[in-house]
């Protein structure tokens, strides 16, 4: 992939709109040396809580990856009216991400708190409400999407099944993008992929593909063959962990890229990195196959780090040279 290292510079300045479920990822780290006398559970002794233990997650992490790779991200999403919402805004500002957030007093800002002992996650606590957005909140989201489309080169739908990417919001975003001639990249969580009809590419992992196929016996190629006809031209980029990723398009031979990761420490947020690199590449008019290779290399860097993370242009270029 060394021939692609020069392509990384083409990602700089590409503007991407990210629409989806944003959240905060919090890591509380400590040591476990004893069991609680109150119940048979480990006691986590927290040594310190550093500021970098709170990071942008979900759609916000996809936007952060776009910024880190040299692009310009705008984020449309929903927050609550709580302290976590202010933390989100502060972190987005630090990353230089344009904030187009709709406040919903009826739900908390999504936050995942992971308790980690000796580099091993022992429990996760989720603060969230997954009810689909509706009414005035949905209307405001659609207005923000419409207003942002003329200023970007690509659109990402980051669906974490927290309520922002409803069928109505997805359809609206995809229709607006298609009218403007923009690529749409979808990180899916819904079982019914027809919700994302008309997107440019949908990026399920094996579990998400199996859930969408709904077959008694799961086989990747058969699942893809069953799903593609109902997607109105959308391609499927299936991420296959250690087996790499494969791009499937109607009437075109599959395009496979092997996994590049030498060591895997943490897969948290790797899907956000994939869609970020893919959106930047497609937004910069880089050919589809090369875009997939770039995304694969970016994912290899992401999983080599601990926790939710971003990838820099220098790291991506180095991964391409040594891939």
CB 131 within 8 A of CB 159: no
CB count, 10 Å around CB of 302?
30
Looking up tokens 């993370």, which residue turns up? Answer: 309
CB 295 within 8 A of CB 245: yes
CB 27 within 8 A of CB 127: no
The kind and range of the H/E element at 99 are: strand 98-103
Please give the Cα distance from 144 to 148 (Å, whole number). 6
Cα angle value 209/213/218 (rounded, 5°):
80
Instruction: Give rounded-to-5 percent helix, strand, coil for the chain.
Output: 40, 25, 30
Q: Is 82 a catalytic residue?
A: no
> Which of 25, 104, 159, 272 is labelled catalytic?
272
Handedness of CA 230, 240, 163, 61 (dihedral sign): negative
- The SS3 of residue 125 is strand
Q: Which of 27, 47, 164 is nearest to 102 (CA)?
A: 164
| Residues noted as catalytic | 272
């Amino acid at each position: 992939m060394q021939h692609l290292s020069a392509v990384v510079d083409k990602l700089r300045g590409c503007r991407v709109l990210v629409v989806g479920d944003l959240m905060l990822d919090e890591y509380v780290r400590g040591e476990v040396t004893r069991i609680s006398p109150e119940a048979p559970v480990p006691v986590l002794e927290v040594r310190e809580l550093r500021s970098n233990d709170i990071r942008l997650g979900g759609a916000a992490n996809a936007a952060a990856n776009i910024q880190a790779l040299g692009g310009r991200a705008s984020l449309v999403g929903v927050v609550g009216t709580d302290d976590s919402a202010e933390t989100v805004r502060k972190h987005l500002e630090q990353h230089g991400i344009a904030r187009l957030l709709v406040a919903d007093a009826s739900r908390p800002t999504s936050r995942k708190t992971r308790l980690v002992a000796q580099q091993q996650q022992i429990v996760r606590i989720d603060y969230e409400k997954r009810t689909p957005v509706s009414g005035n909140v949905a209307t405001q989201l659609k207005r923000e999407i419409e207003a942002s489309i003329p200023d970007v080169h690509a659109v990402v739908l980051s669906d974490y099944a927290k309520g922002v990417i409803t069928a109505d919001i997805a359809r609206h975003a995809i229709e607006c993008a298609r009218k403007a001639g923009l690529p749409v990249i979808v990180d899916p969580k819904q079982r019914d992929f027809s919700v994302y009809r008309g997107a440019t590419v949908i990026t399920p992992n094996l579990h998400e593909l199996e859930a969408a196929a709904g077959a008694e016996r799961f086989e990747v190629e058969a699942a893809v063959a069953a799903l593609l006809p109902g997607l109105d031209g959308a391609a499927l980029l299936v991420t296959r962990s250690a087996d790499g990723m494969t791009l499937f398009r109607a009437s075109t031979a599959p395009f496979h890229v092997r996994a590049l990761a030498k060591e895997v420490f943490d897969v948290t947020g790797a899907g956000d990195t994939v869609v970020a690199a893919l959106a930047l590449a497609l937004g910069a008019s880089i050919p589809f196959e090369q875009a997939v290779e770039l995304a694969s290399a970016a994912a290899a860097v992401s999983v080599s780090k601990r926790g939710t993370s971003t990838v820099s242009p220098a790291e991506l270029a180095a991964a391409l040279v040594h891939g």
